[in-house]
Amino acid sequence: MNIGLAQRLRDGTWTLHTTTERAGVMPALLRGQLPIGKFIALQRGLHAVYSALEPALARHAAHPVLAPLHLPALARSAALAADLAHLHGPDEAATLAVPAAALAYADHLGELARRQPAALAAHAYVRYLGDLSGGQALRRIAQKTYQLPGDDGTRFFDFGPPEQVALLARGFRQALDTLPLDEAGVQALVAEAQWAFGQHVRLFEELDAAPVLSA
Ligand code: HEM
Q: What is the CATH architecture of 5-22+36-208? A: Up-down Bundle (1.20)
Residues with a CB atom less than 6 Å from ligand 1: 9-10, 17, 20-21, 26, 30, 125-126, 129-130, 133-134, 137, 197, 200
The ranges assigned to domains in the chain are 5-22+36-208
pLDDT at 133 over 60: yes
Residue 215's pLDDT is 54
Choose the residue to mutate in 11, 14, 21, 205 for probing ligand 1, maximizing ligand atoms within 8 Å of C-beta: 21
Nearest residue (CA) to ligand 1, atom 9: 134
- Each as own residue / partner, the long-range contacts of residues 125-129 (CB below 8 Å, 24 or more positions apart, any chain) are 125/9, 125/172, 125/176, 125/189, 125/193, 126/13, 126/193, 126/196, 126/197, 126/200, 127/49, 127/50, 127/53, 127/76, 127/196, 128/74, 128/172, 129/169, 129/172, 129/173
Residue 211's pLDDT is 83
Amino acid in position 50: Y
More confident residue, 94 or 44: 44
132 C-alpha to center of ligand 1: Å? 8
pLDDT at 99 over 80: yes
Q: Which atom of ligand 1 is nearest to the CA of 196?
A: 30
pLDDT at 150 over 60: yes
Average per-residue pLDDT for the chain = 95
130 C-alpha to center of ligand 1: Å? 5
Work out the pLDDT band at 214, boundaries 50, 70, 90.
low
When pLDDT is averaged across residues 189-193 and rounded to a whole number, the result is: 98
